[in-house]
Amino acid sequence: MTERLYYADCTVREFAARIVARREGERGPEVRLDRSAFYPTSGGQPYDSGTLAGVPVLDVWEDEAGDVWHLLERFPQGDDVSG
């Protein structure tokens, strides 16, 4: 399950993470990280915006298993990313 950094510190603005899953979704490239500071769309609150490894994040959501997925403009290079 994705470690949610915003639960420990809601002011976190930068973080390092590792991509643990990649897939080509219907809307484009999707990645799951081991940890994330991006809050997913939930309860009427929109997702957090920003970048991963310089790549724009277009959507953030939680799946049925409780993992947080990030829709990106394109896949970043490598597995270690910063946000």
Q: pLDDT for 23-52, tens place per residue?
A: 999 999 999 999 999 989 888 888 889 999
Asked if 52 and 72 count as a contact pair (C-beta separation under 8 A), the reply is: yes
Q: Enter the pTM of the model.
A: 0.91
CB burial of residue 26 (10 Å; 0-12, 13-18, 19+): exposed
pLDDT at 8: 85
Q: Which of 27, 29, 39, 48 is nearest to 2 (CA)?
A: 39
45 contact partners, CB below 8 Å, separation of at least 6: 39
Q: Any idea what DSSP says for residue 5?
A: H
CA–CA gap between residue 55 and residue 50 (Å, rounded): 8
Query: Does the pLDDT of residue 80 top 90, yes or no?
Result: yes
Return the CATH fold of 3-82.
Elongation Factor Tu (Ef-tu); domain 3 (2.40.30)
